[in-house]
Amino acid sequence: MFNNEFFVFITIHASCVKLWDAHNGSLVTVLRDLTKSKIVRGAMDHRQRKIILGDANGRVSSFNLNNGAEMKKFKEHDQDVSDLQ
């Protein structure tokens, strides 16, 4: 994802989120230990100051992109996998 607010590219990995300088491609920061299980999905808020992450256990939380601080935990949901078939 590209973030206009901080002028960085954001890459989401199973265990971390990396921010890359859009000017020169250098790694700016790595946000680690954000979720208890593998990160499977991510999106930015409308102001591009937070990243919302979903993990493999169905938890969704938002984090400050500047320092990785957790901002909010959203209510967990249970979904029966048999419903998806």
11 pairs with which residues across the strands? 18
How many percent of the chain have pLDDT more than 90? 81
Q: What is the CATH number of domain 2-75?
A: 2.40.10.480
pTM of the predicted model, to two decimals? 0.82
Give residue 79's pLDDT band: very low, low, confident or very high (50, 70, 90): low
How far is the C-alpha of 27 from the C-alpha of 7, rounded, in Å? 12
pLDDT at 83 over 60: no
pLDDT tens, 35-55? 999 999 999 999 999 999 999
